Chains A and B, each alone.
Chain A
Amino acid sequence: MIKVSKIEYYLPEQILTNEDLEKEFPEWSSERIHEKIGIRQRHISSDSETVLELAVKSSEKIFETYDRNKVDFVLFCTQSPDYFLPTTACILQDRLGLRRNIGAIDFNLGCSGFVYGLAFAKGLITAGIAKSILLITSETYTKHINPKDKANRSIFGDASASVIVEKDENAKDYQFCLGTDGSGAENLIVKKGAFKTNFELNPENEFDPENLYMNGPEIFNFTIENIPGLVRETLETNRLTMDDIDHFVFHQANSFMLNYLRKKTKIPAEKFYIDMENTGNTVSATIPIALKNMLDKGTLKKGDRVLIAGFGVGYSWGATVLEI
């Protein structure tokens, strides 16, 4: 059906280390941050580095080894677009010098975005609408975070990932399992900045309404309740067992959450990927970054079967199986 034939990513140059955070917040220990959430540093976009600029960089890496004229659809996932309008993907078509007889759209999702992008790509390819899709997950959550918010500054980093999804007659037809629960909207939210006014503020939200607010414990509850079931459902839907999967790559939220989800889902540690040490939680870009790093290290080999699962803001979640 489909295959992911190219993966590249780009990280902004500016780096925020745990030691930098400890200097600003002396009560915050750099070692404890690393031990608990598995992050040593994150990359921070400068004012001029928007999701579009990051996406140009990650996509140009793809075109070093892939003919840009083959691309006939652009899917761009972000929650921090350059403009309300026009669509980021449209501007990107011009910036990358892509053909003009192609489709291009943005879609607004966070940590589940990569899985949804693959689902859209599969739909477009199997319906005969497109053959070679440039799927981008580019995110700059750090622009939303209040400088005094040490918890969220410790977790999130910026990044852009670009992948090519193509038709492949030989690839197996794996199904997607998707989920949505808007009742959790308030637990990860940037309230102000769009058009809603007169919104209620949570008493727990100590920063400005245009800043990112995350109720971490409640997000953790959401994942405990939904993600082990999502993994089981994805295996059952695809008539697979845990033994048939070579690697489990979840959205890299933070290592504490991932370790607990792994334990609860009973996934063997050696099949479970955790690595966000140098990037932090880059939202919709974590899964393609993980896949690329695994390919580069040789831990992910051709023919390996990977179960990927994305989950978070919305709430929104999704999983599928890929053969690389």
Chain B
Amino acid sequence: MILLRAAVVILIILMAVPQVNPARMSELINKNSALLTTALSRTSLLGDFSRPLKRGWVAGGTLDLLYIAALLTALSIAATGAGWCMSLGEKRLKKLGAKIVTIASASGILALLLMIPVYISFISSGYVNRLDPMFPPGFFVFIGAFLICFVLGLINYIKLPRPAENEGYEMKPKYKLFLMILPFVILCFAFAYLPLWGWRYALFDYKPGRELTWDRFVGLKWFTFLFQNPATRADIARVLRNTLVMSGLGLAFSWLPMAFAIFLAEIRSSKVSRVVQTCTTIPNFISWVLVYSFAFALFSTEGFVNSLLINMGIIKEGVNYLMSGEHIWLKMWAWGTWKGLGWSAIIYIAGISGIDIQLYEAATIDGAGRFKRMWYITVPGLLPTFFVLLLLSVAGILSNGMEQYFVFKNSANKQTIEVLDLYVYILGLGSGGSGNIPLATAVGMMKSLISITLLFAANWASKLIRGESIV
């Protein structure tokens, strides 16, 4: 049974591997799409066949047959998956599961055989060099995998004892619950763990559209290239400086939200403090594109600041403040503060409301003034929260995100605005398909590793200082 389950799992994984796509009967089919992709979307299978179809090199029916065969194969694999789930059940369900795997494997083989006529018609069409037919190695891989599943399924089906007549299809609750959560685990795997597999690109000489083959394996070339090539070395130094300065500004002013909350608490009128709180949180909920559109409205040549200054007769000509490269770090910090200050203060406002009011009363009776109460009661009460957030932002010192800097970037401020995240994007994807994907992956990889190390360090520091972990 375990062998059967393992075989089915391997079969399902194979479905997502582009190199063994059995439906790739021609070089025209994208070499980076796996069986799963081709079965789900017809265009990904037949996208490049529009010319051969128009010229009549290949009949439409042939391609339909190929697509249907791919779809049926995928469906058979899905059915073996269903059988796998059932095999977790009690006797009767288990037997049914083995049966379904057996039948589904057989139908998978039949579906694969449907692809052979497609190949033959490609070869005999008279346009062999146009269609570039090939017999994919994945075909045999899948035939083999199906055969193994078929045989194992059959053996299990015969070996399993015949269930009693009155026995229903039952499964233990622990497996039932597991199967319910399984789809989400798979999603999580596909979007959080599978990208790690993409790190291999950093070790290859890869260009978009090409295949990863072992003769393009370059080892750590990109990592050494990064530090040996003077141009990239200068880039990295510049980008790191920008990143660290901007993160450093954020760290240096990380007490601002706390101060904001403390002084807001001094406002007696609850109506005023309510309005202040509401209005200062709104900016947190608009995107950076919209923040940029505000910047455009206020600071561009025809913007608010310029027209105000011109109307007052202070300047004659409008200046486009967005196109200047001066004080970019400070400006970026200011926009970040504008957007986030009110929002970050909420956590401290909640913290203040959690401080025992008797402490303040006692302090007042003892003669403590307003500032003394703030300094000796409120601040110590908020410090634990402050330290946790500070440690987390130290851990995130390399990750300022790219959105803000991306929208504000232009030719004038390029030198000082590019942070690490933005640099990775521009290096890999930003130049219209001619980016250096391996190099960008290498940079991103190092960033990820440093970030996770910093996070562990922050956690360790927190344990050391406060005896509590933060993650």
- Bound pair: A and B? no
